[in-house]
């Protein structure tokens, strides 16, 4: 739509910018949670650990919405032809830009990335120190966490670089057009790769197919099921 209409206009522009921040933050938060799950093992759905992970997923979404709403509230959002979508532009104060970028990177990016790296290193160390390198049992969805981490870091590196370049320029001029275009295209690439990575896991495929095509049968007669055998002593 942006290519055909030569830009995006309000309120669609603000919605796109807000959702972009929410998706980036929720994605890296979810990958960090999968990395923790891979390290400690799959938690029970009735345990406190499972509730804590679900709360962490919710917090990552809320954090992304909060940081995505701030540029909208202060009217920092406008269409960027280089990125082919709406982005944040700074025209008023370098201090505002520095404060926002540092807070966003520290809370939304640095902490999850640090968590992913620590968990990845510990998982690798435990893998090489263990005698059981292979397992016949199908593991949980956290098995795809290393591939998700690698793809996320590669695809979003141009975006992080463009933001750091902006932070280092006192005149608040944005990063080069080619880098902003590359960051946008790589972000789309990550969105395309994620479903393929998840679907490479057998349990995820089975659960997805069950949600799409499984239907409960109606008005079917219940067949008798053998539940117990009672042995009768006939000797007198």
Q: Which of these, 183, 137, 144, 132, lies nearest to 31 by C-alpha position?
A: 144
Say what the pLDDT of residue 130 is: 62
pTM for the model: 0.66
Domain 2-127+141-212, CATH class in plain words: mainly alpha
Question: What is the pLDDT at residue 182?
Answer: 92
Alpha-carbon distance of 220 to 167, in angstroms, equals 66
Question: What pLDDT was estimated at residue 135?
Answer: 44
User: Do residues 29 and 98 lie in contact, with contact meaning Cβ atoms separated by under 8 Å?
Assistant: no
C-alpha dist (Å) from residue 94 to 16, 17, 19, 97, 158: 24, 20, 24, 5, 22
Element containing residue 77 per DSSP (H, E): strand 77-80
CA dist., res. 180 & res. 213, Å (int): 41
Radius of gyration of the chain (CA): 24
CA atoms within 13 A on the CB side of 91: 9
**DSSP reduced 3-state for 78:** strand
- Give the ranges where the chain is alpha helix by DSSP (H): 2-5, 12-40, 48-73, 94-104, 111-129, 145-167, 177-199, 202-213
Locate 164 and state its tokens: 């750091």
Q: What is the pLDDT along the chain (236 residues), one digit of tens a residue?
A: 777 777 777 788 888 888 888 888 888 888 888 888 777 776 556 667 777 888 888 888 888 888 888 888 888 888 888 888 888 887 677 888 888 888 888 888 888 888 888 887 777 777 666 654 444 444 556 677 778 888 888 988 898 888 888 888 777 788 888 998 998 899 889 888 888 887 887 777 777 777 777 655 555 555 666 666 666 666 65
Angle between helices 111-129 and 145-167 (to 10 degrees): 140
Longest alpha-carbon distance in the chain? 104
90 secondary structure, DSSP code: -
**Cα–Cα distance, 207 to 87 (Å, whole number):** 36
Q: Check residue 137 and give its pLDDT.
A: 44
CB neighbour class for 86 (10 Å; exposed up to 12, middle 13-18, buried from 19):
buried
Spatial CB neighbours of 84, under 8 Å, sequence gap ≥ 6 = 2, 3, 181, 184
């Amino acid at each position: 739509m942006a290519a055909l209409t030569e830009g995006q206009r309000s309120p669609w522009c603000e919605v796109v910018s807000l959702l972009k921040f929410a998706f980036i933050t929720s994605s890296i938060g979810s990958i960090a949670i999968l990395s923790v799950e891979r390290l400690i093992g799959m938690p029970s759905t009735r345990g406190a650990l499972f509730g804590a992970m679900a709360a962490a997923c919710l917090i990552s979404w809320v954090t992304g919405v909060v940081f995505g709403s701030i540029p909208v509230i202060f009217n920092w959002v406008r269409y960027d032809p280089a990125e082919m979508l709406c982005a944040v532009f700074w025209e008023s104060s370098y201090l505002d830009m520095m404060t926002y970028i540092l807070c966003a990177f520290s809370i939304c990016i640095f902490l999850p990335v640090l968590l992913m790296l620590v968990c990845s290193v510990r998982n690798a160390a435990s893998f090489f120190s263990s005698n059981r390198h292979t397992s016949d049992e199908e593991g949980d969805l956290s098995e795809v966490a290393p591939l998700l981490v690698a793809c996320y870091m590669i695809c979003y590196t141009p975006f992080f670089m463009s933001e750091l370049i902006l932070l280092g320029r006192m005149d608040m001029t944005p990063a080069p057009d080619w880098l902003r275009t590359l960051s946008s295209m790589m972000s789309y690439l990550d969105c395309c790769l994620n479903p393929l990575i998840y679907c490479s896991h057998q349990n995820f495929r089975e659960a997805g197919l069950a949600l799409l095509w499984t239907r409960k049968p109606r008005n079917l007669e219940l067949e008798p099921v053998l539940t117990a055998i009672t042995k009768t002593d006939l000797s007198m």
